């Protein structure tokens, strides 16, 4: 009886429910993915699945595995920022599908300042943040004053940003390729410092302070959302903007501020990636950066909790990276996209499972 009650109470804790719900979604996603693999080629399915799940552990030598663990972390940092961007807006009742565009603008400004003006990393980073924030702010203004749905505005701004950034960065691309110049050789000051962190990951130079910074920001977002006056106001605005206005909050300003902060987070995410030197921007890019979309999935998988996002962002990045280890002679390259898309699809059910558990616990 007693244990039953304890069990019940344990299940009632929101965090526990979220974790269980997320795990169910992951397992379902993997299961369906596995079935798809079986359908296409039963012989390689198990190997493919384990490669995806192992990711860096695919390397037998621990120091190499460690190095690639570092790389996965380095890519998790920007994804986490996009996740936070989406989550932050979502908590305030706004869907920031424009994270991709804000991310693109962040990348554009960071790289342009780095390569055209040889600015140091922190300047580039702040510029990326401001750039993303401005773009987010535009969506916020359109929403607050002109009632433009932020999802549609976000989608439009994504494409506009992509083309604009391509045009801007064409000025700092390598002369014989479509990529922006490498920071390591052309603007080393713009690289985010490692402060020795790289040593922990077999000298992986992409492991920078961006990683701990991202985690700190996640915690900060959590504190702001749940502990501060600002969070209280923003959430109130999101839940009922009329009530917010009635309570003397500046509901329009809050809406714009929310989108601007969300934009800052996404823009900063781009800085985390591009200023680590791990990637160069291709000026011939015709697709909106996927980071923003993956962020949506990670946000839901993390139960819309900033701390949960740290883990969900890592997981999404983990399987995305893991996808590249699938034997391409057995499965085509897109199979890993397929598996992660399936998992993302199942992330949509997190809230449902949570709701079910809630009901069960209450009964």
Partner 1 sequence: MALLLQYTLIYASVLMLVALGGCFSERSGVINLGLEGTMVIGALGGALVMKYMGDLPAALMILAVVLGSVIFGMIYSLLLAVSAINFKADQTLVGTAMNLLGTAAATVIVKAINMGENVNNVSSSIQYIDQRKAFSAFKIGNFEVSWFMILAVILLIVAHVVLYKTRFGLRLRACGEHPQAADSVGINVYKMRYAGVLISGFFGGLGGIVYITAGVSEWKFENGVAGFGFLALAVMIFGQWEPKLIGLAALLFGLFRALSNVYSGFDILEALNIPSAVYNMLPYIISLVVLALFSRNSRAPKAEGIPYDKGQR
Partner 2 sequence: MGEYAVEMLHITKRFPGIVANDDITLQLKKGEIHALLGENGAGKSTLMSVLFGLYQAEEGEIRKDGKKVEIKNPNDANALGIGMVHQHFKLVECFSVLDNIILGAEPVQGGFLKKDEARKKVMELSNRYHLQIDPDAKVENITVGMQQRTEILKMLYRDNEILIFDEPTAVLTVQEIEELMQIMKGLAKEGKSILFISHKLNEIMEVSDHCTVLRKGKYVGTVETKDTTPEKLSAMMVGRNVSFKVEKKPAEPGDVVLDVKDMTVAGQNKKDAVQDVSFQVRKGEIVCITGIDGNGQTELVYGLSGLEPLKSGSIHMNGKDITKASVRERSTSGMSHIPEDRHKHGLVLDYSLEDNLVLQRYFEPQFTSKAGLMKRKEIREYSDRLIEEYDIRSGQGSSTIVRSMSGGNQQKAIIAREIDKNPDLLIAVQPTRGVDIGAIESIHRQLIEQRDAGKAVLLVSLELDEVMDVPDRILVMYEGRLVGEFKPDEVTVEELGLYMTGAKKQEV
Partner 3 sequence: GPSKSSQGTGNSDYRVAMITDSGDITDQSFNQTTYEACLEYCTENNIDFTYKKPDGDTDYARIAMIDVAVAEGYNIIVMPGYIFAPALVEVTYKYPDVKFIALDMTAGDIIAAAVGNKYYENPDAYEASDYYNVENTYCAVYQEEIPGYMAGYAAVKLGYRKLGFLGGQAVPAVMRYGFGYVQGINDAAKELGITDQIEVEYAYGGQFYGSTEVTAAMDTWYSQGTEIVFACGGGIFTSAAEAASKVGGKMIGVDSDQSPIIDAYGEGMTVTSAMKGLGATVKAMLDSIIVTNTWEEHVGKIENLGLVSGTDMDVNYVGLPEDTTQWNENFTVDDYHELVRKIYDGEITIDNSTEKMPEVSVKVNERQGSIM
- Site residues (CB under 8 A) for partner 2? 227-230, 232-233, 235-236, 239-240, 242-249, 359, 362-363
328 near partner 3, rule: CB under 8 A:
yes
Stretch that binds partner 3, among 82-90, 215-223, 277-285, 355-363 (CB under 8 A): 277-285
The answer to the question of residue 240 lying near partner 3 (CB under 8 A) is no
* Residue closer to partner 3 (CB basis): 109 or 319: 319
Q: Is 58 in the site for partner 3 (CB under 8 A)?
A: yes
Smallest distance, partner 2 to C-beta of residue 242, A: 5
Neighbours of 245 (CB within 10 A): 14
- Signed CA dihedral, 210, 216, 218, 224: sign only: negative
d(CA 355, CA 296): 20
Minimum CB separation of residue 286 from partner 1 in Å reads 7
C-beta closer to partner 2: residue 163 or 246: 246
Cβ distance 346 to 28 under 8 Å? yes
DSSP helix/strand/coil, 268? helix
**Are residues 48 and 37 in contact, defined by beta-carbon separation less than 8 angstroms?**
yes
The SS3 assignment for 177 reads coil
Binding partner selected for residue 88 from partner 2, partner 3, partner 1, none, CB under the kind-specific 5 to 8 Å limit: none
Please list the residues that pair with 214 across neighbouring strands. Answer: none
77-106 positions binding partner 3, by CB under 8 A: none
208 by Cβ neighbours in 10 Å (0-12 / 13-18 / 19+) ranks as buried
- Would you say 91 and 304 are in contact if contact means Cβ atoms under 8 Å apart? yes
Paired with 173 in beta bridges are 180
Choose the one of partner 3, partner 2, partner 1, none that binds residue 45, judging by a C-beta under 5 to 8 angstroms depending on kind.
none
**Nearest distance, CB of residue 211 and partner 2, angstroms:** 27
Q: How near is the Cβ of 15 to partner 2 at its closest, in Å? A: 16
Three-state DSSP class for 238? helix
List of residues contacting partner 3 (CB under 8 A):
47, 50-51, 54, 58-61, 64, 68, 71, 167, 174-179, 181-182, 184-186, 206, 278-280, 282, 284, 286, 320-321, 323-325, 327-329, 333, 336
């Amino acid at each position: 009886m007693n244990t039953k009650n304890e069990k019940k109470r344990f299940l009632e804790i929101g965090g526990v429910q979220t974790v269980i719900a997320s795990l169910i979604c992951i397992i379902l996603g993997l299961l369906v993915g596995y079935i798809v693999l079986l359908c296409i080629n039963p012989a390689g399915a198990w190997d493919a699945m384990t490669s995806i799940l192992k990711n860096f552990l695919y390397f037998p030598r621990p120091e190499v595995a460690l190095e690639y663990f570092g790389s996965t972390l380095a890519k998790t940092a920007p994804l986490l920022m996009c996740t936070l961007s989406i989550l932050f807006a979502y908590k305030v009742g706004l869907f920031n599908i424009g994270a991709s565009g804000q991310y693109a603008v962040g990348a554009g400004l960071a790289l342009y300042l780095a390569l055209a003006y040889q600015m140091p990393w922190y300047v580039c980073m702040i510029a990326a943040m401001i750039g993303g924030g401005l773009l987010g702010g535009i969506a916020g203004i359109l929403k607050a004053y002109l009632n433009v749905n932020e999802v549609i505005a976000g989608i439009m701004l994504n494409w506009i940003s992509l083309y604009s950034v391509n045009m801007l960065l064409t000025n700092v691309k390598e002369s014989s390729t479509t990529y922006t110049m490498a920071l390591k050789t052309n603007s080393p000051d713009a690289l985010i410092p490692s402060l020795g962190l790289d040593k922990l990951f077999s000298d992986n130079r992409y492991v920078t302070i961006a990683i701990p910074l991202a985690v700190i920001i996640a915690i900060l977002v959590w504190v702001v959302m749940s502990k501060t006056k600002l969070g209280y106001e923003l959430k109130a605005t999101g839940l009922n903007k009329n009530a917010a206005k009635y309570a003397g909050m500046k509901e329009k300003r809050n809406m714009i501020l929310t989108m601007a902060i969300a934009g800052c987070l996404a823009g900063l995410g781009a800085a985390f990636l591009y200023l680590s030197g791990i990637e160069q921007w291709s000026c011939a890019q015709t697709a909106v950066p996927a980071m923003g979309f993956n962020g949506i999935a990670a946000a839901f998988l993390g139960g819309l909790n900033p701390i949960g996002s740290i883990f969900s962002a890592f997981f999404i990045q983990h399987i995305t990276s893991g996808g590249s280890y699938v034997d391409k002679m057995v499965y085509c390259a897109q199979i890993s996209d397929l598996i992660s898309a399936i998992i993302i699809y199942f992330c949509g059910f997190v809230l449902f499972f949570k709701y079910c558990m809630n009901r069960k616990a209450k009964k």
